[in-house]
Chain A
Amino acid sequence: MGKPTDLVQGTLDLLILKTLSLHAMHGWAIAKRIQQISNEVLQVQQGSLYPALHRLEQQGWVKAKWSESETGRPAKFYSLTAAGRKRLETEAADWKRLSTAINLVVSEV
Chain B
Amino acid sequence: MRWLNQLLMQYRMLLFRKVADTQLNEELRFHLEQQITENRAAGMSKDEARHAALRAFGNPDLVRENTGATWNWNGLDQLFRDFRIGARTLSRTPGFAVVAILITALGVGGSVSLFTVVRGVLLRPLPFPDSDRLLTLYERSTPAAGGGDFPHNQVAAGVYAAWNGQNTSFSSLALVREDSADLSASGGQLPETLNGAHVSWNLFPTLGVNPALGRGFTSKDDSPSANGTVVLSSSFWKRRFGADPAILNRTIYIDAKPYTVVGVMPAWFEFPDSSTQLWRPVYHEFPDRVMSAFDNHMFRVVGRLKPGVTAEQATANLSVISRQLHDSRLDNPFVAAAANSRPLLENMVGDVKRPLYILLAATVCLLLIACLNVANLLVARAAARQRELAIRTALGGARGRLLREHLTESFLLQTFGGTAGLLLAYGAIAWFLHTRPDMTRVGAIHFDGVVAAFTAAVVIFCALFSGLVSAFNMDDSRLLSALHESSRSHSASGTRARLRKTLLAIEVGLTVVLLMGASLLVKSYQRLRSTNVGCITDNVLTMRIKLPGKRYKTPGPAPANFFETLLQRVRALPGVEAAGFVTGVPGQGYMGDSGFSIVEHPPLPRGNGSLAVYRSADPGYFAALGIPLLRGRTFGDNQKLDQVNEVVISDSLAKKFFPGEDPIGKHLHLTYGNKVRVIVGIVGDTRSEIGEAPEPMQYHPLFEGDENSGTLAIRSRQDVSQLALPVQQVIQGLDRDLPVSDVLTMNQLLGKSTLDQSFDATLITSLAVLSLLLAAAGLFGVLSYIVAQRSGEIGIRIALGAQREQVLTETLADGLRPALIGLLLGLAASAATTHFIKSILYETQPLDPAVFAVVSALLLASAALACMVPAWRASRLDPVRALRME
A residues sitting closer than 8 Å to B (CB atoms) are 26-28, 31, 45-47, 50-51, 54-55, 57-61, 63, 66, 69, 71, 73-76, 81-83
B residues sitting closer than 8 Å to A (CB atoms) are 1-6, 9, 13, 23-24, 26-28, 30-31, 33-35, 37, 56-58, 62-63, 66-67, 69-72
Q: Chain B residues near A50 (CB, 8 Å)?
A: 24, 27-28, 31, 63, 66-67
Query: Once the chains are docked, how many angstroms separate the CA of A82 from the CA of B3?
Result: 12
Given contacts A82-B1, A83-B2, contact A51 B23 (CB under 8 A): no
Contact B5 A27 (CB under 8 A): no
Query: Once the chains are docked, how many angstroms separate the CA of A26 from the CA of B26?
Result: 12
Contact A58 B70 (CB under 8 A): yes
Contact B34 A28 (CB under 8 A): yes
Q: Chain A residues near B57 (CB, 8 Å)?
A: 46
Closest to A87 in B: B2
Contact B63 A60 (CB under 8 A): no
Contact A75 B27 (CB under 8 A): yes
Q: Chain A residues near B69 (CB, 8 Å)?
A: 51
Given contacts A28-B34, A81-B2, A83-B1, contact A76 B27 (CB under 8 A): yes
A58 CB contact (under 8 Å) in B4, B33, B66, B71? B71
* Inter-chain pairs besides A27-B27, A47-B63, A51-B63, 11 sampled, C-beta below 8 Å: A47-B62, A47-B66, A50-B63, A54-B24, A55-B70, A59-B2, A63-B5, A66-B23, A71-B37, A76-B30, A83-B5
Closest to A62 in B: B5
Query: Once the chains are docked, how many angstroms separate the CA of A69 from the CA of B24?
Result: 16
Q: Can you spell out 24 A-B residue pairs with CB atoms less than 8 angstroms apart?
A: A26-B30, A27-B30, A27-B31, A46-B56, A46-B57, A46-B63, A47-B63, A50-B27, A50-B31, A51-B67, A54-B24, A54-B71, A55-B70, A57-B9, A58-B6, A58-B71, A60-B3, A69-B30, A73-B30, A74-B30, A76-B30, A82-B1, A83-B2, A83-B5
Instruction: Rank and list the top 7 A-B pairs by shortest CB-CB distance, nearest first.
Output: A60-B5, A83-B2, A60-B2, A55-B70, A28-B34, A60-B6, A50-B67
Query: Once the chains are docked, how many angstroms separate the CA of A22 from the CA of B645?
Result: 124
Within the complex, the shortest CB–CB distance from A53 to chain B, in Å, comes to 8
Query: Once the chains are docked, how many angstroms separate the CA of A70 from the CA of B13?
Result: 28
Q: Chain A residues near B30 (CB, 8 Å)?
A: 26-28, 69, 73-76
Q: Chain B residues near A59 (CB, 8 Å)?
A: 2, 6
Q: Chain A residues near B5 (CB, 8 Å)?
A: 60, 63, 81, 83
Query: Once the chains are docked, how many angstroms separate the CA of A54 from the CA of B74?
Result: 13
Q: Chain B residues near A71 (CB, 8 Å)?
A: 33-34, 37
Within the complex, the shortest CB–CB distance from A55 to chain B, in Å, comes to 4
Closest to B60 in A: A46
Within the complex, the shortest CB–CB distance from A1 to chain B, in Å, comes to 9
Closest to B38 in A: A32
Query: Once the chains are docked, how many angstroms separate the CA of A73 from the CA of B23?
Result: 13
Q: Chain B residues near A55 (CB, 8 Å)?
A: 70
Given contacts A51-B66, A60-B6, contact A81 B1 (CB under 8 A): yes
Q: Chain A residues near B71 (CB, 8 Å)?
A: 54, 58
Q: Chain A residues near B1 (CB, 8 Å)?
A: 81-83
Contact A46 B23 (CB under 8 A): no
Contact B72 A46 (CB under 8 A): no
Contact A28 B31 (CB under 8 A): yes
Within the complex, the shortest CB–CB distance from A2 to chain B, in Å, comes to 11
Within the complex, the shortest CB–CB distance from A40 to chain B, in Å, comes to 14
Query: Once the chains are docked, how many angstroms separate the CA of A73 from the CA of B27?
Result: 11
Query: Once the chains are docked, how many angstroms separate the CA of A74 from the CA of B31?
Result: 11
Closest to B70 in A: A55
